[in-house]
Structure 1
Amino acid sequence: MTALRRKTTIRGRPMKPLDLNVMCDQCNHSRAHGNHESCSKKRQAEAAEQRARETQS
């Protein structure tokens, strides 16, 4: 017997799969395991530096 699954819909249309990375880009470990708060802080700092460089140019 097959299991019945509900299709998640947004505004009446089926939702596309989310485009999320499984591996953390900072520590190269699975995002599902462990605490990635320090990785998030590093990512935010890099983005702030990049924005600062763009505004100087």
Structure 2
Amino acid sequence: MLAEPTAPVYLADLDAVRVLRVVWAQEYLRDARGVRRREGKERPPGAERADLPAPG
């Protein structure tokens, strides 16, 4: 994990890692049941979601 003290510091600063953190926070939720995908009303409205570049 990137939060571990043994993880290389530069990895957390990569643009791809930053994008993944935003997307995962918007799409997934950690609760008493574990990690699960957010239901429709739990996700932010479209205007508040990350505006990410198209792949490739």
**TM-score in same-fold range (> 0.5):** no
Higher RCO by CA contacts (8 Å cutoff, separation 6 or greater): 2
Higher helix share: 2
Normalised to the residue count of structure 2, the TM-score between the two structures is 0.35
Instruction: Give the number of the structure whose alpha-carbon radius of gyration is greater.
Output: 1
Higher strand share: 2
Normalised to the residue count of structure 1, the TM-score between the two structures is 0.34
